Amino acid sequence: MNPLAFKKFSLRFVVLSRSFYERDTLQVAKDLIGCELHRVVDGQHLCGIITETEAYCGTEDDACHASKGRTARTEIMFGAAGHAYVYLIYGMWSCLNFVTRDVDQPEAVLIRAIEPIRGVDYMRKARQGRKALADGPGKLCQAMGITREQNGLDLTGSEIYVTRGDRRYRVATTPRIGIDYAVRCRDKPWRFIATNPL
DNA sequence: TATACGATCACCT
DNA sequence: GGTGATCGTATAC
């Protein structure tokens, strides 16, 4: 393998460090597109390419849970970057977020969709044979065995972590989904979607 | 203690 | 396009 090819090959496996998550939340949400989400559970190694994210930008963002103040649920968002914020929605679905920014800056990125590339059989089983495996925030958590038990998990650990990946995508933006109640920020283009490969 | 509703999904027409 | 499932949270009382 020539040196350039080797560099590209090894970059793929670089685990994103805490400093990656400490940056501007919109930048983190955008940069996560094309990265690989890893989940180790039941002795299995699951992985998928992140294809859709949303940024939630703290106390000034009325769609962000933390804008309602510091509570037991949102506590993790007020802590250090690079931790998982997992909450239950509609009584039955978990949603996975990555905490960003500094302590007392309660911002996070919601992981909305992945393209499964490893452990697909496990995901199919977890999704009870349904065809759609991980093209939504609730679905990807079910496919990867992520529940509130993983709330607060350190993303620099070995249960849930992200690597750079080897594919880069053009990124489109749209307003965020399901937050019409947030009159101030509902039109902000803070949803990021992978489109054509670069 | 009681109530309303949500960063969703599946299944229906 | 519409709707029911289902329960933790926040908020009101």
Residue-wise pLDDT tens digits, A26-78: 999 999 999 999 999 999 999 999 999 999 999 999 999 999 999 999 999 99
Give the pLDDT score at A139.
98
3-state secondary structure A67-91: HHCCCCCCHHHHCCCCEEEEEEECC
Contact A115/A189 with Cβ under 8 angstroms? Answer: no
CA of A2 to C1' of C12 (A): 67
Helix H segments across chain A?
A: 3-11, 18-21, 25-32, 120-126, 137-144
User: In this complex, which residue's CA is closest to the C1' atom of nucleotide C11?
Assistant: A68
CA of A158 to C1' of B6 (A): 31
In angstroms, the CA A142 to CA A145 distance is 5
* Confidence band, pLDDT 50/70/90 cuts, at residue A158: very high
* Confidence band, pLDDT 50/70/90 cuts, at residue A25: very high
Give the pLDDT score at A197.
80
- The answer to whether strand C lies under 7 Å from the CB of residue A71 is yes
Residue A8 pLDDT exceeds 70: no
% of chain A with per-residue pLDDT over 70: 98
Higher pLDDT, A9 or A183: A183
Instruction: Give chain C positions with protein CB within 7 A.
Output: 5-11
User: In this complex, which residue's CA is closest to the C1' atom of nucleotide B6?
Assistant: A90
Closest nucleotide (C1' vs CA) to A93 is B8
Task: For residue A125, give the 3-state DSSP assignment.
Answer: helix
CA of A183 to C1' of B8 (A): 21
Angle made by CA atoms A182, A73, A109, in degrees to the nearest 5: 55
Task: Give the DSSP letter string of A156-181.
Answer: TSSSEEEE--S--EEEEEEPPSS-TT
Residue-wise pLDDT tens digits, A116-146: 999 999 999 999 999 999 999 999 999 999 9
Q: How many helices (H) and strands (E) does chain A have?
A: 5, 8
Which residues make Cβ contacts (< 8 Å) with residue A72, sequence separation at least 6?
none
Give the pLDDT score at A35.
98
In angstroms, the CA A36 to CA A13 distance is 9
CA of A138 to C1' of B10 (A): 12
